[in-house]
Amino acid sequence: MNKISATIGTATAGVDFSPRTGAVCPWCEKKARIYRTLTWEDKTRIRYHRCENDRCPLATMRVSIKSIEVDR
């Protein structure tokens, strides 16, 4: 498996979301912009993001980045 395939897998599976810092792109590690937020289910909330870094392959391919927020 090459690096881009592994990174797309990470973006699809979900990255951590922090209320303070948001979610970052798993490729370029820049903050990703939210485009969809789902409602809370128990203690978790799912959001979908897009990387805005023009040089990032995930942004170029318009890959969605899923984030998961856990209420502790």
Percentage above 90 pLDDT, the chain: 92
Predicted confidence at residue 1, as pLDDT, reads: 61
Phi, psi of 66 (to 5 degrees): -85, 135
Would you state the pLDDT for residue 72? 78
pLDDT-flagged residues of the chain (< 50): none
* Residues 30-50: tens digit of each pLDDT: 999 999 999 999 999 999 999
| Contacts of the segment 15-22: beta carbons below 8 A, 24+ positions apart | 15/65, 15/66, 15/67, 15/68, 16/67, 16/68, 17/45, 17/47, 17/67, 17/68, 17/69, 18/69, 19/69, 22/49, 22/67
- Alpha carbon distance 8, 22 (integer Å): 19
pTM value is: 0.90
